[in-house]
């Protein structure tokens, strides 16, 4: 990962964003798996946010 990416990722993480990275090869060879990872990560993040809500 380039230094510029690391700086951007750090900033976004500080804003509570969660960064997922996939290579073109990951998408080309396993598109449905990539979609599943995104779906599961989103579900986990929503559950985490719901636990933090008053």
pLDDT digits (tens, 9 = 90+) for 2-49: 888 889 999 999 998 999 999 999 999 999 999 999 999 999 999 988
DSSP for 2-52, please give it: -HHHHHHHHHHHHTT-------HHHHHHHHHHHHHHHHHHHHHHHHHHHHH
In the chain, where the domains are located: 20-54
pLDDT score for 41? 96
Question: pTM, whole model, 2 decimals?
Answer: 0.77
Structure tokens at 40: 């599961």
Q: Give the pair of three-digit tokens for residue 10.
A: 């750090």
Asked if residue 53 has pLDDT above 70, the reply is no
């Amino acid at each position: 990962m380039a230094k510029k990416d690391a700086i951007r990722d750090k900033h976004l993480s500080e804003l509570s964003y969660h960064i997922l990275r996939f290579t073109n090869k990951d998408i080309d060879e396993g598109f449905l798996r990539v979609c599943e990872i995104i779906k599961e990560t989103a579900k986990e993040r929503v559950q985490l946010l719901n636990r933090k809500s008053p």
